[in-house]
């Protein structure tokens, strides 16, 4: 088993315990991400920083209303991701990146931790909310994963809203693709049919050379103690040959299991998250530690020793970093880094504890729990 020590040099963890939550699930908790990558304080203007924070806060509010009203974790995951899919700031739904041939192709997945039911889609081009298509696959088909035209046909048969491909177009993503293809010496495709006139860019938009992974994801725990996870993305800018990343691969980019006490959504360089089976491994590690109290106690001592070492070096080690789940998430992100990948994860435990782990300089993220205020963050060194 990979050790937690391997991750110390590469991953930053921020974790928040939710005192309002009880072990028996009588409180709810929600966490979201909007992508991880090279997101440094100097790379966003004050207006851009504020726009991202406002978007994350609005999405959290939607999820909080669902859970506060007695809705299920699955309902909250779908509702929040729909909001993020409609926001052009993120690489999901409207605002997704383009393939090398000038198309926008969406991938999404959702998982119910109580039943291990899951649904995933890849290569959608017209379904407005890919996350809803993934949920429909889970609930209304005998399958787990549908792709391309078949997935589109299924979504249409389920009555899900369709839009013209131009609906997803944003000028900044298009210009980003053009710059990328020119840099790589590849042909630039014709501007998509129905796209707005050239130059119609949003007032608040990240820099065109921003290198980040804008996948969106949500993990949730409802008042019944049910866990759920969901993730949605436009994938990798300039992708070719029908490339699919980790998002719709259950156990890699998305996973939830009440039995293991864990829900995970990942963001980053998908090829590496697939190879490291990140989402499932985090949950398996958490379950293994819970089932072996002696090992868990030993791990706790190791964590205390690590904190003492960090403190001696002048770094900050929060007491919350000793809590279960931290080492498990850290180890998986370290494995991604060792393979050459970048990114992060959000983790929800059965106690409602939220864990953010990343080996990048930032991750758009936020959390809220019953009886607590909404909190959002962007930069890796920022308290959530």
| pLDDT one digit per residue (tens) for the chain, 384 residues | 333 333 333 344 444 434 344 344 469 999 999 999 878 888 889 999 999 999 999 999 999 999 999 999 999 999 999 999 999 999 999 999 999 999 999 999 999 999 999 999 999 999 999 999 999 999 999 999 999 999 999 999 999 999 999 999 999 999 999 999 999 999 999 999 999 887 655 556 666 656 667 799 999 999 999 999 999 999 999 999 999 999 999 999 999 999 999 999 999 999 999 999 999 999 998 887 665 555 555 566 666 676 677 667 766 555 444 556 776 787 788 889 899 999 999 999 999 999 999 999 999 999 999 999 999 999 998 876
Cβ(130)–Cβ(231) below 8 Å: no
| Calpha distance 356→31 (Å, rounded) | 9
pLDDT value, residue 300: 60
Q: Alpha-carbon distance 372 to 123, whole Å? A: 38
Q: What are 282's two structure tokens?
A: 């985090």
Catalytic machinery residues: 215
Q: How far apart are alpha carbons 90 and 157 in whole angstroms? A: 27
Residue 181 has what pLDDT?
96
Show the tokens assigned to 65: 């209303």
User: Cα–Cα distance between 342 and 340 in angstroms, integer?
Assistant: 7
CATH architecture of 4-379: 4-Layer Sandwich (3.60)
Say what the pLDDT of residue 5 is. Answer: 30
User: Which residues have a Cβ under 8 Å from the Cβ of 39 and sit 6 or more positions away?
Assistant: 210, 212, 360, 361, 362, 363, 364, 378, 379
Q: Are 121 and 155 in contact (CB under 8 A)?
A: yes
Strands (E), 19-129: 29-37, 106-112, 118-124
pTM metric for this prediction: 0.87
pLDDT at 316: 56
What is the reported pLDDT for 319? 45
**Cβ atoms within 10 Å, residue 161:** 11
The values of phi and psi at residue 362, to 5°, are -170, 160
CA distance 127 to 161: 6
Residues 6+ apart with CB under 8 A from 315: none
Buried b (16+ CB within 10 A) or exposed e, 186-198: eeeeeebeebeee
Residue 328 to residues 41, 116, 200, 347, Cα–Cα distance (Å): 28, 21, 45, 10
pLDDT value of residue 24:
46
Q: How many residues does the chain have?
A: 384
Residues 6+ apart with CB under 8 A from 328: 4, 282, 285, 286, 289, 347
Cα separation of 10 and 31, whole Å?
22
* Residue 299: per-residue pLDDT: 60
């Amino acid at each position: 088993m990979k050790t937690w020590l391997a991750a110390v040099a590469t991953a930053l963890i921020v974790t928040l315990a939710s005192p309002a939550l009880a072990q028996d699930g009588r409180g709810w908790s929600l966490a979201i991400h909007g992508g991880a990558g090279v997101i440094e304080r100097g790379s966003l203007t004050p207006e851009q920083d504020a726009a991202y924070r406002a978007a994350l806060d609005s999405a959290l509010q939607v999820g909080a209303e669902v859970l506060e009203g007695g809705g299920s974790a699955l309902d909250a995951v779908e509702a929040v991701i729909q909001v993020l899919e409609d926001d052009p700031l993120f690489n999901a739904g409207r605002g997704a990146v383009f393939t090398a041939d000038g198309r926008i192709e969406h991938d999404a997945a959702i998982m119910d931790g109580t039943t291990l039911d899951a649904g995933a889609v890849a290569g959608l081009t017209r379904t407005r909310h890919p996350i809803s298509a993934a949920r429909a696959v889970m609930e209304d088909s005998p399958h787990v994963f549908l792709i391309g035209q078949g997935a589109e046909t299924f979504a249409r048969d389920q009555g899900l809203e369709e839009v013209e491909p131009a609906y997803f177009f944003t000028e900044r993503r298009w210009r980003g693709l053009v710059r990328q293809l020119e840099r790589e010496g590849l042909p630039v495709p014709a501007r998509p049919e129905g796209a707005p006139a050239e130059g119609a860019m949003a007032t608040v938009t990240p820099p065109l050379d921003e290198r980040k992974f804008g996948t969106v994801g949500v993990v949730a725990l409802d008042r019944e103690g049910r866990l759920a996870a969901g993730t949605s993305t436009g994938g990798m800018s300039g992708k070719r040959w029908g490339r699919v990343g980790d998002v719709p691969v259950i156990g890699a980019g998305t996973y939830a299991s009440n039995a293991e006490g864990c829900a995970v959504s990942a963001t980053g360089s998908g090829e590496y998250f697939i190879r490291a089976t990140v989402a499932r491994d985090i949950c398996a590690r958490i379950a293994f530690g819970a089932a072996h109290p002696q090992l868990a106690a030993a791990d706790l001592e190791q964590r205390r020793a690590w904190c003492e070492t960090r403190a001696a070096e002048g770094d900050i080690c929060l007491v919350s970093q000793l809590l279960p789940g931290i080492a498990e998430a850290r180890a998986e992100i370290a494995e991604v880094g060792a393979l050459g990948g970048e990114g992060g994860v959000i983790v929800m435990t059965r106690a409602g504890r939220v864990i953010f782990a990343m080996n990048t300089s930032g991750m758009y993220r936020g959390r809220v729990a019953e009886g607590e205020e909404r909190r959002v963050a962007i930069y890796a060194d920022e308290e959530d």
